[in-house]
Structure 1
């Protein structure tokens, strides 16, 4: 009896310990879903994090409860045997909170802390307040001065007869703006969202002055061994959007009668995710605590910046907020010769991601390692090599105004943002971001040759995009074109027969969901091969001896023709590959 008495408590203790361990595993698995660790691989030291508490939770509504949650996470943290303080810095426009550790953490410690924070069931997500940097590759030459506005670029020179962007506001979220006489006339009041006064170089952090103080740094200062002069990146981007035009000097802007709201987020060593998220919210007309409302909410946001990793909840929430307010967000794909699915915000939802091409229409190459990013998340391409725009001559602090050619998807993006401004100015009622994206894609011009990697459906064409809105010499919207009459199909002939439809008076490319309606009268459809032939000779197979013993083919096929110009002679080719059966093309039509 005594043996049993002593054994029973041990057995219960083991069961309790096992249950506790299993509970911890379950909690960790749940918490892990709310922790975004992707950005930790991009830096060696980490001290700021973004924490989103669930709506209605105590931590969300009460500062004392929020502090208790953070204290609990800090108390549960164990890193290199050193205690850790965790303090609340501010709440950003998406409703999430920026918190700061009392010291710099290595990657393992940062992961441990984030997981401790996420153990609070009221935490919706936690991610590092990661730094973003400008996407650009400086280029010394002035080759092809503003070639990007011509027929090999975005075709803006023809578009300016229809729209110049009047009345549209474009927010440029970047390094801020340097004074420039070829740009100042189109600049509206902006804001400096850099919260770190050291990075901002203005001694006071956030303020209403978006002037670019320079983003230079010395070797070793930003986690790299080299030094860098100031880029004046935001000034260059803003000039491509809306430099003052027809003033007998300097350069032109894509939408030269639009206005630019400069929003400063990038300073020394780049900028933080939290600051950028607040900038997106503010620029689009949303509310950011402690910041005066934007008197000139943007219809378009240009973001020629980014970093690696998954989009993350903070970026996505800010972007979704902007889109819900009707703002089109245009972002750079990145310059690392990699898949843009690994670059943010290029991989975020509800953005237009822009790749870069050179004057020959090929994917931009700036060096052996710097080429336009690519992949399925890239929507369209635009000029990004040897792009001349406004700049400043200062190597560190601002100097005199100047001009220079830069290259990068950073330079391609403002071409597209400018075209969006042209569209919104021309449209009788504002287009939604989804409608804008659809217009840009369906009117994009086909690449002269297929790019070595996918960089979108084609090159943005401003004139074709404007024509699609109607008025002037427009694309007449969706139209159906039909053949003229019946065509007999010769029996047992691989050459077959063709029936033609001529399309004219359109501009731009066909759509990605063109409809090809076919009505073929025949006694055995299993003998038939049916192809659509585009004006350039490209062949799209619709039917390949399928259907067995069935006879007539009466079917509508959906075909991606977005790489094909609309105008020209389209053909339906039908060949009968066996003997004994006969028939004819009764009718067929194209709708795009």
Structure 2
């Protein structure tokens, strides 16, 4: 069972041996707040359109009569005619700002009681899309490029994921300067096999990543060995790297918090440990493990194993769903149908395929009718810069210092979806796992290049957040 990312031998050498840019020190800036406390959710005008030939179309003053029955006036607000649009609709100005939801309710009441009204709606505000000031944000094409990006800047104007806990079941984490502030707790190390744990013991109360390096032949007869991947830190950075701090990279849901749960050591991890990790992350009890005081609403599993979904895994996923926890998993990196790989073939999960920078299927990505949608995973065949850029450690074996690197894989696609789910849940915490999946699919955009059997389309974070806000 291995983490799901890939890189060529050339890229691997570069990641292992080229100097990586260390995080510069400096003053931190708190992320922007949720739109629920900003002007974006308030309005001071209503737009009312009367049907052609009705009194309101001719005499704008008649609009004042239309609001007499509305809940708007019951709250003490008043409004008067302001101007007429080219379409004939009238802008009515309020004497104070009011929440969008209240204005929407008043508008619905107007339409329901006056057949002459064609439509009524709040006069909403729009703002320029947020561009983070993180110094290496420009390398994160997967957030903002029109071709294959997830449309993150527009999504950030509505939500940053504030208040949502995301569990990352992976190799653990490093206290990277561009990530540590968004780690909710030390998490837990669920790895029971001491020989593969790489930290000298079994389960413990620290999900710190000691490195997953291994020698040739240590994991299998054809294994050539490998340096430490810092896979969990890379995934976590995509989800919730500290953002707008004038350094490093940005995270998709930088207002959210990461709950790290270590399930992978050298040579991967075991399904039994992962099943316990899912249960614990969702707030369930696990024998011998302290209670999780910060249960996650979303779980990221950038992991894949061959065969059918283990029953223990499925039971844990069912438990998580019963707690309203969304489980998002990688489709796999074998360019095969994901039906032969777990947890992508488990029921009730959101399975993510990968596209490259052109928006077409990444060469390695699994596919099939079990895939929910696709997201940027990178494809570095021509350039490392076409990979997904995020937080890592610079050590080749044991941890050394903070750094950043381009990786590719469905492992990298999955946290884009997970971060978006966190943005959605911050706007509407009542969403169920099935509702989240439905909204992701219904708002996915068409592929600009070929991606057969890659699900409903390509992730559009802004559209998904907007749909969740309704």
- 1:262 counterpart SS class: strand
What is the aligned partner in structure 1 of residue 350 from structure 2? 352
CA distance in 1 between counterparts of 2:352 and 2:2 reads 17
What is the aligned partner in structure 1 of residue 448 from structure 2? 448
CA distance in 1 between counterparts of 2:365 and 2:425 reads 27
What is the aligned partner in structure 2 of residue 259 from structure 1? 257
What is the aligned partner in structure 1 of residue 412 from structure 2? 411
Using the TM superposition, give the Cα deviation of residue 198 of structure 1 relative to its aligned residue in structure 2, in angstroms: 2.2
CA distance in 2 between counterparts of 1:156 and 1:358 reads 17
CA distance in 2 between counterparts of 1:304 and 1:249 reads 26
Using the TM superposition, give the Cα deviation of residue 360 of structure 1 relative to its aligned residue in structure 2, in angstroms: 1.1
Q: Is the 8 A contact 2:188 2:260 kept in 1?
A: yes
CA distance in 1 between counterparts of 2:310 and 2:271 reads 10
2:374 to 373, 377, 381: 381
Using the TM superposition, give the Cα deviation of residue 202 of structure 1 relative to its aligned residue in structure 2, in angstroms: 2.1
Using the TM superposition, give the Cα deviation of residue 179 of structure 1 relative to its aligned residue in structure 2, in angstroms: 1.8
| Number of aligned residues | 333
Using the TM superposition, give the Cα deviation of residue 204 of structure 1 relative to its aligned residue in structure 2, in angstroms: 2.1
Q: Residues 492-541 of structure 1, C-alpha deviation per residue, up to 9 Å, x if partnerless?
A: xxxxxxxxxxxxxxxxxxxxxxxxxxxxxxxxxxxxxxxxxxxxxxxxxx
Relative to structure 1, is the Cα distance of residues 206 and 153 closer, same or farther in structure 2, using a 3 angstrom cutoff?
same
Runs of 4+ in 1 over 4 A off after TM superposition: 141-144
RMSD, aligned α-carbons? 1.5
- 1:402 counterpart SS class: strand
Normalising by structure 1, what TM-score?
0.55
What is the aligned partner in structure 1 of residue 437 from structure 2? 437
CA distance in 1 between counterparts of 2:205 and 2:262 reads 10
The answer as to 2:188 corresponding to 1:167 is: no
Q: Which has the higher contact order (CA 8 A, sep 6+)?
A: 2
Using the TM superposition, give the Cα deviation of residue 466 of structure 1 relative to its aligned residue in structure 2, in angstroms: 1.4
- 1:403 counterpart SS class: strand
Using the TM superposition, give the Cα deviation of residue 349 of structure 1 relative to its aligned residue in structure 2, in angstroms: 0.3
Using the TM superposition, give the Cα deviation of residue 315 of structure 1 relative to its aligned residue in structure 2, in angstroms: 1.0
Normalising by structure 2, what TM-score?
0.69
What is the aligned partner in structure 2 of residue 390 from structure 1? 391
CA distance in 1 between counterparts of 2:266 and 2:305 reads 15
- 1:468 counterpart SS class: helix
Using the TM superposition, give the Cα deviation of residue 361 of structure 1 relative to its aligned residue in structure 2, in angstroms: 0.7
CA distance in 2 between counterparts of 1:175 and 1:425 reads 26
What is the aligned partner in structure 2 of residue 183 from structure 1? 179
- 1:261 counterpart SS class: strand
The answer as to 2:7 corresponding to 1:138 is: yes
CA distance in 2 between counterparts of 1:326 and 1:228 reads 38
Q: Residues 146-203 of structure 1, C-alpha deviation per residue, up to 9 Å, x if partnerless?
A: 1111133211111000000000000000000012000000002200000112211222
Using the TM superposition, give the Cα deviation of residue 251 of structure 1 relative to its aligned residue in structure 2, in angstroms: 0.3
CA distance in 1 between counterparts of 2:372 and 2:469 reads 23
Q: Residues 282-314 of structure 1, C-alpha deviation per residue, up to 9 Å, x if partnerless?
A: 001111011001111000000000110001211
CA distance in 2 between counterparts of 1:394 and 1:191 reads 22
Query: Counterparts of 1:463-482 in structure 2 under 5 Å?
Result: 463-470=462-469
Using the TM superposition, give the Cα deviation of residue 344 of structure 1 relative to its aligned residue in structure 2, in angstroms: 0.3
Using the TM superposition, give the Cα deviation of residue 447 of structure 1 relative to its aligned residue in structure 2, in angstroms: 0.7
Q: Residues 533-554 of structure 1, C-alpha deviation per residue, up to 9 Å, x if partnerless?
A: xxxxxxxxxxxxxxxxxxxxxx
CA distance in 2 between counterparts of 1:312 and 1:261 reads 24
1:308 to 287, 298, 306: 306
What is the aligned partner in structure 2 of residue 222 from structure 1? 219
CA distance in 2 between counterparts of 1:299 and 1:330 reads 11
What is the aligned partner in structure 2 of residue 205 from structure 1? 202
Gaps of at least 5 residues in structure 1 are: 1-131, 366-370, 472-592
CA distance in 2 between counterparts of 1:470 and 1:187 reads 26
What is the aligned partner in structure 1 of residue 359 from structure 2? 361
CA distance in 1 between counterparts of 2:271 and 2:301 reads 13
Q: Is the 8 A contact 2:361 2:450 kept in 1?
A: no
Query: Counterparts of 1:13-92 in structure 2 under 5 Å?
Result: none
- 1:213 counterpart SS class: coil
Q: Is the 8 A contact 2:424 2:469 kept in 1?
A: no
CA distance in 2 between counterparts of 1:259 and 1:396 reads 27
CA distance in 2 between counterparts of 1:339 and 1:225 reads 24
